């Protein structure tokens, strides 16, 4: 059994400590806390997953939080830690000393999430599935949920639905919630789905469980609407329970507002990993031609609906893999918002070969962002702007808005 003090927060939400056995990564511990436990080796690293907190951080958050909230710290104390994650990645991974703009806080530290997923607990109610053990942690409430998701959570706790999981997507703009039922038999769920719509849900779909991920198998509408309209700062765009949209629309709206002030405008713009094309629609007045590339059929469908509704006739959606971007030629601006793995080698090579005048890079992982920025700077770009954004309070996650120019 080891007793030691945590030194700092590192990517992945772990506290890092240096002990006589070596470096230990501690789950759920905050910088400065004195902890005790028996670390175990995993993939060549010592991990302590359930530490005993002997001396808590003075700003440790005292109220209950779901297990996904792995940064249980008073909100004002979270922001400098997240800003440090980005600056550390820039210095350590990208080998750059470029200054960061101050972190932009979330408009709401609690009640910000407009999307969430829960497992059905065998004894009733909703539960969070722990990533490592797959154990279920039963929840009575989730303070991270925005209204009307908090209402939906309370309703679903009492409904004995024969499904594996439920997924929620809400709209602050419309005050409505969409429900996804994962697993079970769709025919048997049609009557409960209609009853749930009468209860107040905007729409219900059924999804086939898939090892590839949620909503990667068959999806069948059961009752009500399939999409809602949400405000993301200057844009109103459709959201659905079936494909990804930012879960904190107020913070995402602030990022979009700033992003459109950074770029110069020009003839051609390209958005890779576009989702439903928020950046393409946002920047369409600044460019003659805008191409949005996305592999998700559902996201492209929503993007085309928004384009037609907004009259953005110069925006074209292509359903294709971003790794094949070389077939599209050169652009004045390329916008990238990749998954946590960052840019693929093919996309990095495409950017170096076609050399767009500007690259607007939005990232949800500081380490892979810094890796890609470092490679692009070596290829002749300079980091003209970078600001951390807080999208997910009470978690270790942090977003980055950045601009690279030749």
Alpha carbon 176 to its chain's center = 21
Per-10-residue mean pLDDT, the chain, length 406: 94 92 94 95 92 96 93 96 96 93 98 97 92 86 96 95 96 98 95 97 95 84 97 96 93 98 97 97 97 95 96 98 96 97 97 98 97 97 98 97 98
pLDDT value at residue 12:
86
337 assigned ligand-binding residue? yes
Phi, psi of 4, deg, nearest 5: -160, 170
Residue 36: strand, helix, or coil:
strand
The number of residues making up the chain comes to 406
Which architecture characterizes domain 115-230 according to CATH?
Beta Barrel (2.40)
Residue 337 half-sphere exposure, CB side, CA atoms within 13 Å?
A: 25
Six-digit token string for 385 = 């702007």
Which architecture characterizes domain 80-107+248-405 according to CATH?
3-Layer(aba) Sandwich (3.40)
Six-digit token string for 311 = 């009259």
Residue 3 half-sphere exposure, CB side, CA atoms within 13 Å?
A: 4
265, 227, 234: which is closest to 249 by C-alpha?
234
d(CA 248, CA 116): 11
pLDDT value at residue 211:
81
d(CA 255, CA 9): 24
Q: Are 270 and 291 in contact (CB under 8 A)?
A: yes
Confirm whether 364 is a catalytic residue: yes
What DSSP line would sit under 251-268, residue for residue?
HHHHHHHHHHHH---EEE
Q: Does the reported pTM lie above 0.75?
A: yes
Phi, psi of 186, deg, nearest 5: -60, -40
d(CA 53, CA 295): 45
Catalytic residue among 89, 247, 272, 364: 364
d(CA 258, CA 323): 27
d(CA 383, CA 104): 18
Q: Are 96 and 374 in contact (CB under 8 A)?
A: yes
389 assigned ligand-binding residue? no
Q: 22-27 and 45-48 as β-strands: parallel, antiparallel, unpaired?
A: parallel
Alpha carbon 264 to its chain's center = 27
pLDDT value at residue 213:
76
Q: Which residues contact 258 (CB under 8 A, 6 or more apart)?
A: 104, 387, 401
pLDDT value at residue 214:
76
Q: 176-182 and 203-207 as β-strands: parallel, antiparallel, unpaired?
A: parallel
Q: Locate tokens 């393409």: which residue? A: 280
Angle made by CA atoms 83, 86, 92, in degrees to the nearest 5: 135
d(CA 366, CA 370): 6
Q: Given phi > 0 = left and psi -120 to 50 = alpha, else beta, which region is 93?
A: alpha
273 assigned ligand-binding residue? yes
pLDDT value at residue 98:
86
pLDDT in tens, 45-101: 999 988 999 999 999 999 999 999 999 999 999 999 999 999 999 999 999 988 899
For 261-299, give one letter per residue: b (16+ CB within 10 A) or e.
Answer: eebeebebbbbbbbbbbbbbbbbbeebeebbbbbbbebb
Cβ-count burial of 137 within 10 angstroms (0-12 exposed, 13-18 middle, 19+ buried)? middle
Q: Could you check whether the bond before residue 235 is cis, i.e. omega within 30 degrees of 0?
A: no
Q: Locate tokens 């692009």: which residue? A: 376
Give me the CATH code for the 2-58 domain, please: 2.40.50.140
Domains 80-107+248-405 and 115-230 share a fold: no
Six-digit token string for 335 = 């916008």
Q: What are the structural domain ranges in the chain? A: 2-58, 80-107+248-405, 115-230
d(CA 283, CA 275): 15
pLDDT value at residue 292:
98
pLDDT value at residue 212:
77
Axis-axis angle for helices 345-354, 366-378 (nearest 10): 30
Residue 69 half-sphere exposure, CB side, CA atoms within 13 Å?
A: 25
């Amino acid at each position: 059994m080891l007793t030691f003090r945590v030194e700092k927060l590192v990517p992945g939400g772990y506290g890092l400590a240096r002990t006589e056995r070596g470096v230990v990564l501690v789950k759920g511990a905050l910088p400065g806390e004195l902890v005790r436990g028996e670390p175990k080796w995993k993939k060549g690293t010592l991990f302590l997953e359930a530490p005993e907190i002997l001396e808590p951080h003075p700003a440790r958050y005292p109220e209950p939080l779901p297990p996904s909230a792995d940064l249980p710290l008073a909100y004002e104390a979270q922001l400098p830690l997240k800003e440090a994650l980005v600056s550390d990645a820039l210095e350590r991974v990208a080998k750059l000393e470029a200054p960061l703009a101050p972190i932009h806080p979330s408009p709401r530290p609690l009640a910000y999430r407009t999307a969430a997923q829960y497992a059905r607990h065998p004894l009733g109610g909703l539960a969070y599935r722990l990533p490592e053990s797959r154990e279920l942690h039963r929840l009575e409430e989730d303070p991270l949920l925005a209204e009307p998701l908090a209402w939906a959570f309370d309703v679903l706790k009492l409904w004995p639905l024969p499904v594996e999981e439920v997924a929620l997507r809400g709209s602050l703009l419309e005050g409505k919630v969409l429900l996804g039922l994962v697993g079970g038999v769709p025919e048997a769920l049609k009557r409960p789905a209609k009853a749930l719509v009468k209860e107040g849900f905007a729409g219900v779909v059924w999804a086939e469980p898939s090892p590839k991920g949620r909503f990667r198998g068959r999806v069948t509408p059961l009752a009500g609407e399939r999409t809602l309209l949400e405000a993301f700062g200057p844009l109103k765009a459709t959201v659905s329970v079936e494909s990804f949209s930012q879960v904190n629309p107020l913070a995402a709206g602030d990022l979009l507002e700033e992003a459109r002030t950074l770029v110069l405008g020009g003839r051609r713009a390209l958005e890779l990993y576009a989702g439903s094309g928020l950046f393409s629609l946002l920047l369409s007045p600044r460019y003659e031609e805008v191409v949005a590339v996305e592999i998700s059929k559902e996201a492209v469908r929503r993007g085309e609906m928004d384009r037609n509704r907004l009259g953005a006739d110069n925006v074209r959606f292509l359903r294709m893999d971003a790794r094949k971007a070389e077939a599209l030629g050169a652009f004045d601006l390329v916008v990238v918002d990749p998954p946590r793995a960052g840019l693929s080698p093919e996309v990095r090579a495409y950017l170096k070969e076609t050399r767009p005048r500007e690259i607007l890079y939005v990232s949800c992982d500081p380490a892979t962002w810094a890796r890609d920025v470092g490679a692009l700077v070596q290829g002749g770009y300079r980091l003209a702007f970078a600001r951390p954004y807080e999208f997910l309070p009470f978690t270790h996650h942090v977003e980055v808005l950045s601009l690279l120019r030749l």
